[in-house]
A and B are shown apart, each in its own frame.
Chain A
Amino acid sequence: MTLALNDHDRAMLRGDHGPAAKIAMTIIVRMAEVSGAEELLDITGAHIDSTVYIGDAGLEFAERLASLGAKVAVPTSLNVSGLDEHHWQEWAVPPEWARQAQRQMEAYRSMGTTPTWTCAPYQTEASRPKFRQQIAWGESNAIVFANSVIGARTERYPDLFDICCAITARAPAIGLHLTENRAGEVLLQMKDIPLALQQSDDFYPVLGHFVGKIARDRIPVIHGLAVSPAEDQLKALGAASASSGGVALFHVVGVTPEAPTLEAAFQNKSPHETIDVTMELLRNARAELTHTDSDELDMVVLGSPHFSLAEFKRLAPLIAGKQKHPNVKFLVTSSRAMTQLAKQAGYLDSLQSFGAQLTVDTCILTTPMLPPEIKRLMTNSAKFAYYTPGLLGRKIAFGSLKDCVESAVEGKIIRDDSLWAS
């Protein structure tokens, strides 16, 4: 099998469109060959995860492309960076790290991108792809959301590749770009899950964590939900499944656009495997998200993926008229765009009087913002819960949004287990 390139691809590969496009096309062609692609296809949007500052290699890659005059050829949003650009000094971020992360932000900003600095680009109309649109997205939660909830088409692209696709407007014609590869593979059948639990916000991250572990790198189909989950619940489900597993596309029968029926979700094929999702399995999954040995609490962290306007709206009445415990920090991470909308809607006033703090552009996992005395965290995000022990070396407890607020008020971890008991 050989890779067929068109004249424009070959021109980029020769360097006719400049040295940056040449590097980008060289990498795309090599990776297309590795993945057995027969051709490349046009993409019309990109989301760049390479903005996250990890170390010198990623920065050198970005600055090399930028110094060679790289420009994106399609509308391109940017993922979180390594820094809350204008507020990092309020936290424990070392200045040397800030300088490097800032250089990486500058490099990607210089390429004609839209500096959205968010892991949830689907929350704004301008960056949200359309049904069936071919795109090249990085950031695991954004990928799974775009594919599953919107029905846009992206392969699970890693950092460094997303920018190559944006510069060339091309991607290998592989994987989830192609209809035949989007059929469900594993059937997850809900068994006697109480309606009240299905309506609760902490159900979806737990379900996602479970789905990721079962599906691994296959496409799961969730069947038998009695409710139609809200967009933020699907966001939480996807982010969790892309953390505990490699899920880049899921279907929820009757909810997501490629799954109006069970047959449609599987493209009339049979599932490779069928799993009954029972309360016992979900209770175990929920327990795995908590990695702590006491009820002590230093900080509550919300907003992974970035807090949406709807989440600000839900949080406001829960904290109204209350104040967090003086020994506990309460952090919400979001984008500049959502924060601005929340401010206009008046949701930030109650946050301020509660004693909460806001961070934009980044998240606790991608910037070294937490001071060393913060050792015990609590979150409503399965993704934060999954990565916190390894990335931050901190203890973590998982709870609902309400549990998080009540714990912050009391100064210790409190969780309402009643919905999970039966």
Chain B
Amino acid sequence: MGKLILSGKPFIAGSAKGIALVSREPLSFWGGYDWKTGEIIDRRHPLSGQIAKGRILAIPFTRGSSTTTAVLLESIRAGTAPSGIITTATDFFFALASVVADEMYSKPIPLVAVSDSDFALLKTGDEVEIDNDRLVVVPT
């Protein structure tokens, strides 16, 4: 399989590279992400038990708790965050964590939204490079 070039809307611009961790299921980081380890801990979520630290996390959007932002911010500060996140629409909760991480620690993480059909092309294990609006995907 050749590489895919996708274009998305970079709602927090930046670049990052990593192995994709992909689910169609939305995720709340509060109760869903252990910021001390980067493990996904929502036991009802298909990615439960996976370590998202340093990965490119792809989930359609956040669900539930208002505390998702605070948990992502903690993980950015602690170095346990995904290196970038792909969603299917601008996600306010993730974006705020990245903006505050930028204001407080000059450590934003890139966030990019892609269409549903492009999102469906992503698979766990793909090598993904985010470069602002451009995604380069090398399938496993």
Contacts and interface: CB of A to CB of B under 8 A. Distances in A.
Interface in A95-121: none
Given A55-B35, A157-B66, A216 B43 contact: no
Given A160-B97, A212-B64, A217-B61, 4 more contacts: A57-B77, A158-B68, A216-B26, A244-B64
A140 B68 CA distance: 11
Given A246-B64, A365-B31, A160 B92 contact: no
A170 interface: no
Given A23-B103, A35-B92, A58 B12 contact: no
A305 interface: no
B73 A34 contact: no
B11 A34 contact: yes
A160 B63 contact: no
Give the size range of B's interface with the partner: 35 or more
- Nearest first, the 10 closest Cβ-Cβ pairs linking A and B are A158-B69, A55-B74, A57-B77, A159-B70, A387-B31, A390-B31, A391-B31, A389-B43, A138-B66, A246-B63
B26 A54 contact: no
A195 interface: no
Contacts of B62: 246
24 contacts: A23-B103, A30-B99, A31-B92, A34-B95, A54-B67, A54-B70, A55-B78, A57-B70, A57-B76, A57-B77, A58-B73, A61-B104, A139-B66, A143-B66, A160-B96, A216-B61, A217-B61, A243-B63, A244-B63, A245-B64, A246-B62, A386-B31, A387-B30, A390-B42
Given A27-B103, A390-B43, A140 B74 contact: no
Interface string A3-46: 00000000000000000000100110011001110000000000
Interface string A373-404: 00000000000001101110000000000000
A56 B70 CA distance: 10
B71 interface: yes
A242 interface: yes
A61 B76 CA distance: 14
Interface of A: 23, 26-27, 30-31, 34-36, 49-50, 52, 54-58, 60-61, 64, 138-140, 143, 155-162, 212, 216-217, 242-246, 288, 291, 365, 386-387, 389-391
Contacts of A139: 66
A238 B64 CA distance: 11
B67 to A, nearest CB: 5
Nearest to A291: B43
A160 B12 contact: no
Nearest to A389: B43
A64 B63 contact: no
Interface string B21-38: 000001010111001000
A26, A160, A245: most-surrounded residue (chain B CB, <10 A): A160
A156 B66 contact: yes
A242 B31 CA distance: 13
A138 B93 CA distance: 11
B65 interface: yes
B104 A161 contact: no
B100 interface: yes
